[in-house]
Amino acid sequence: MLTTRRQALKTLTAAALASTALGRFSAQAQTPAAPAPPAPTGPFKLPPLPYAYDALEPHIDAETMHLHHDKHHAAYVNKLNEALAKEPSFPAGTDIDTLMKNLDTVPESIRTAVRNQGGGHANHSLFWKTLSPKAGIPSGDFAKALNDDLGGLDKLKEEMAKAGAGLFGSGWVWLVLDGGKKLTVLTLPNQDSPLTEGHYPLFGIDVWEHAYYLKYHNLRPDYIKAIWNVVNWEFISNRYAEAMKA
Ligand code: MN
């Protein structure tokens, strides 16, 4: 075990050296390291961001977007595919929302992995779409429901901010359509998907530290306050209308 670790460390060091101009010279004398195994492939793919990395500046900084999308979201997708590869007879399909809705049908051996990694993929795929440099305002039936169910946009902001500040640890604050098709604010821990709980997510605020720590440090409430400048209300209003039709 120790030897294997040492060998792995050696390989890593050689690879790191080889990537620098200085190291290239000495690395040439060694046997070239085996090529890295191909990235796991599976039915799920990382969707591209629908805008530039710096599009949400100054409210959400470009560096956070790079890490959040290219590293964190990508890791959820890769680990989801890795988990599903362990149960090849399970027909996961390619629709992440259906998979999360039917989490109880996932083989037990990979269910926790799908809950966490699949939830991460579903939640972030929606998150990018609900943000935009042009915030706009709630419209149509959604604006009316917001007034009727939650007392309007200012109340929603207040309620989500309070829920976000009160959520201990990592998780999301959600605006969902509940089973009775009423707008509801709730929090879920980790990457648990509202779909698994029988709700339809319209908009979620990611309150994991990776979503805000580079810019806002420990000040989660400041991040939540800033995010309202970049919420894509047109997308959310349309998503609401479609869900009500279904
Ligand atoms: Mn996140």
How much distance in Å is there from the Cα of 143 to the middle of ligand 1?
A: 27
Cα(213) to centroid of ligand 1, in Å?
A: 11
70/88 Cα distance (integer angstroms):
27
57 within domain boundaries? no
Blockwise average pLDDT, block size 10, the chain, 246 residues:
42 40 39 52 88 98 98 98 94 90 96 98 98 96 98 98 96 97 98 98 97 96 98 98 95
CATH code at 87? Answer: 1.10.287.990
Angle between helical axes of 74-85 and 119-129 (0-180°, round to 10): 150
161 and 102 assigned to the same domain: no
Q: Which domain CATH number covers 233?
A: 3.55.40.20
Contacts with 69 (C-beta within 8 Å, 6 or more apart), sequence order: 46, 49, 53, 124, 128
26 C-alpha to center of ligand 1: Å? 40
The confidence score (pLDDT) of residue 91 equals 86
d(CA 230, CA 56): 7
Distances in Å between the Cα of 133 and the Cα atoms of 142, 153, 154, 158, 189 are 20, 19, 20, 22, 28
Q: How far is the CA of 107 from the centre of ligand 1 (A)?
A: 26
Instruction: Output the CA 35–ligand 1 centroid distance in Å.
Output: 30
Tell me, what's the pLDDT at 8? 44
Nearest Cα to Cα of residue 181 among 133, 132, 243: 243
Determine if the pTM surpasses 0.85: no
Q: Number of folded domains in the chain?
A: 2
Rounded CA-CA distance 219/11 in Å is: 40
Which range of residues forms the domain containing residue 100?
62-129
